[in-house]
């Protein structure tokens, strides 16, 4: 199978959608896939994020780690404008300001198509075929009535099949989503973001519900899309092993603050123990981290 050709057509090279959709100045600013400046998020009295700033360049693959409740999902959701941050914080996607002054801006729609969001629970419609689920990614471009009737434009159908092939599940296209394994569903969810035209994928614990073999496949799929097609990937992970194996950069959160942002090699054992607490010694055998 001519996978490189498929990838070229399914995926978006840097000159692709930006060139087509963006203005010149957007393209310049789009060196950064994501930028968050001084963002905090307060729920009632609890601070889920506390003055967090970060930049993710296009083409990076970044792991977001930290103990339960440290703010990983909240941070990821703010980057997709699924959560509005407190006043004072600014969030940009590909140079487009999507959050400022405590509000989600009107330009968020432009930015949303560029960002695919993957959830732990796959979020496919169970009774629909994998193919139909993936076609949903193209709905933004298809007039409503055609989508309802399943009259998908040929070009989009082809794009969907290519995307499914790209993530290795084309043979399951006709199967109902709820009869697929978790790993197959998750790869289908990734294919949907490709059909949507996403340049970046934000994945919130995409492998937490999967067995180790399926988890590795999903991580490898994300890493491959990052390496070969230049997709930006930010992925929250519970298992530090996956961060070490698949990501060069890691951002660690603890109690809503960034306590480490740098190369995976700099993630020392004492730092991990500090982040996760002494139990970390039990879950991470000696030798895994420096
Ligand atoms: N909608 C909400 N309402 C109130 N509190 C919330 C809400 N969402 C998150 N929080 C709180 O914000 C903090 C951070 O939550 P978040 O889900 O971002 O953590 P996490 O690092 O993703 O945790 P986990 O590893 O368990 O998924 C937690 O204390 C959580 O209880
Ligand atoms: Mg979470």
CA distances from 39 to 86, 105, 120, 131 (A): 7, 15, 24, 38
Q: Which pLDDT value is given to residue 13?
A: 34
Q: Do residues 264 and 192 both lie within one domain?
A: no
Q: What percentage of the chain carries pLDDT values higher than 90? A: 70
pLDDT at 2: 37
| pLDDT tens figures, 23-68 | 444 545 559 999 999 999 999 989 999 999 999 999 999 999 999 9
Same domain as 150, residue 8: no
Q: Closest Cα to atom 29, ligand 1: which residue?
A: 69
Residue scoring higher pLDDT (290 or 238): 238
What pLDDT is attached to residue 146? Answer: 59
Reported as a pLDDT band with limits 50, 70 and 90, residue 144 is low
Same domain, yes or no: 3 and 85: yes
Whether residue 64 lies inside any domain: the answer is: yes
Residues, beta carbon < 5 Å, ion ligand 2: 72-73
- Contact of 26 with 198, CB cutoff 8 Å: no
Of ligand 1's listed atoms, the one at least distance from the Cα of 205 is 27
Q: Which ligand is nearest to the CA of 77?
A: 1
Residue entry with tokens 């009869």? 179
- Secondary element (H or E) of residue 213: helix 212-229
Of 153, 168, 198, the position where a domain reaches its end is: 198
Same domain, 155 and 128: yes
Q: For the residues 106-117, what does the mean pLDDT come to?
A: 90
Burial of residue 278 (CB within 10 Å: 0-12, 13-18, 19+) is exposed
Structure tokens at 201: 């994928």
- The answer, yes or no, to whether residue 187 has pLDDT greater than 60, is yes
Same domain, 185 and 208: no
Ligand 1 pocket, CB under 6 A: 43, 46, 48, 66, 68-74
> What CATH number has the domain bearing residue 238?
3.40.50.300
What's the confidence (pLDDT) of residue 152? 74
Residue 176's pLDDT is 96
Which of 177, 198, 219 is the last residue before a domain boundary?
198
Number of neighbours of residue 235 by Cβ within 10 angstroms:
28
Residue 92 lies in a domain: yes
Q: Which of 34-48, 225-239, 274-288 has the lowest mean pLDDT?
A: 274-288
Q: Is residue 180 part of a domain?
A: yes
Question: Does residue 26 sit within a domain?
Answer: no
In three-state form (DSSP H/G/I as H, E/B as E, the rest C), the secondary structure along 110-165 is HHHCCEEEECCCCCCCCCCEHHHHHHHHHHHHCCHHHHHCCCCCHHHHHHHHHHHH
285 has pLDDT over 80: no
> What average pLDDT does the segment 101-121 reach?
91
Task: Please tell me the predicted confidence (pLDDT) of residue 9.
Answer: 39
* Ligand 1 nearest-atom number relative to CA 77: 18
Residues 98 and 224 in one domain: yes
State the average pLDDT over residues 107-113: 88
DSSP for 51-67 reads EEEEEEETT-EEEEE-S
pLDDT for 29: 56
User: What is the average per-residue pLDDT within 138-163?
Assistant: 75
Say yes or no: 109 and 132 in one domain: no
Which pLDDT value is given to residue 5?
38
Interval 139-165 mean pLDDT: 76
Flag whether 24 is in a domain. no
Q: Is residue 223 part of a domain?
A: yes
The answer to whether residues 107 and 216 belong to one domain is yes
Q: Is residue 22 part of a domain?
A: no
Structure tokens at 228: 């070969």
pLDDT band for 155, please (50, 70, 90 cuts): confident
Do residues 254 and 71 touch, judged by C-beta distance below 8 A?
no
**Ranges assigned E (strand) in the chain:** 32-43, 46-57, 61-65, 90-93, 96-100, 103-104, 115-118, 200-204, 232-236, 249-254, 257-263
Question: Is residue 106 included in any domain, yes or no?
Answer: yes
**Which residue's CA lies nearest to atom 11 of ligand 1?**
48
Question: Are residues 142 and 240 located together in one domain of the fold?
Answer: no
Which of 198, 221, 246 is the last residue before a domain boundary?
198
Q: What is the dihedral of CA 214, 181, 158, 198, to 10 degrees?
A: -60
Number of domains in the chain: 2
pLDDT at 109 over 70: yes
Band of the pLDDT at 110, cuts 50, 70, 90?
confident
Between 19 and 95, residue with greater pLDDT: 95
Same domain, 102 and 147: no
Pocket test for ligand 1, best of 45, 49, 71, 119 (most atoms within 8 A of CB): 71
- Identify which has the larger pLDDT, 133 or 283: 133
- Cα separation values, 190 from 65, 70, 136, 270, Å: 21, 25, 12, 35
Range of the structural domain that residue 64 is part of: 1-17+32-114+200-290
pTM > 0.95: yes or no: no
- For residues 285 and 212, membership in a common domain is answered with yes
126 has pLDDT over 50: yes
Answer yes or no: do 5 and 148 share one domain.
Answer: no
């Amino acid at each position: 199978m001519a996978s490189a050709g498929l990838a070229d057509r399914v995926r978006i090279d840097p000159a692709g959608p930006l060139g087509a959709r963006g203005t010149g100045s957007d393209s310049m600013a789009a060196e950064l896939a994501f930028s968050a400046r001084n963002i905090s998020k307060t729920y009632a009295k609890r601070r889920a994020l506390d003055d967090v700033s970060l930049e993710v360049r296009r083409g990076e693959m970044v792991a977001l780690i930290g103990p339960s409740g440290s703010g990983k999902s909240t941070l990821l959701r703010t980057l997709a404008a699924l959560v509005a941050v407190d006043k004072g914080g600014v969030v940009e996607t590909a140079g487009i300001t999507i959050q400022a002054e405590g509000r989600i801006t009107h330009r968020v729609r432009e930015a949303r198509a560029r960002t695919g969001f993957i959830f732990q629970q796959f979020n496919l419609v169970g009774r629909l075929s994998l193919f139909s689920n993936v076609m949903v990614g193209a709905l933004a471009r298809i007039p409503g009535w055609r989508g309802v009737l399943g009259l998908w434009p040929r070009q989009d159908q082809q794009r969907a099949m290519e995307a499914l092939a790209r993530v290795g599940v084309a043979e399951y296209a006709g199967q109902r989503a709820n009869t697929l394994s978790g790993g197959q569903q998750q790869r289908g969810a990734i294919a949907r973001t490709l059909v949507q035209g996403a340049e970046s994928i934000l994945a919130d614990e995409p492998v937490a519900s999967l067995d180790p073999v399926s988890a590795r496949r999903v991580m490898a799929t994300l890493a491959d899309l990052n390496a070969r097609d230049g997709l930006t990937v930010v992925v929250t992970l519970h298992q530090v092993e996956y961060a070490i194996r698949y990501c060069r950069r890691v951002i660690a959160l603890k109690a809503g603050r960034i306590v480490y942002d740098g190369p995976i090699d700099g993630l020392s054992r004492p730092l991990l123990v500090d982040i996760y607490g002494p139990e970390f010694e039990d879950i991470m055998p000696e030798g895994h981290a420096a």
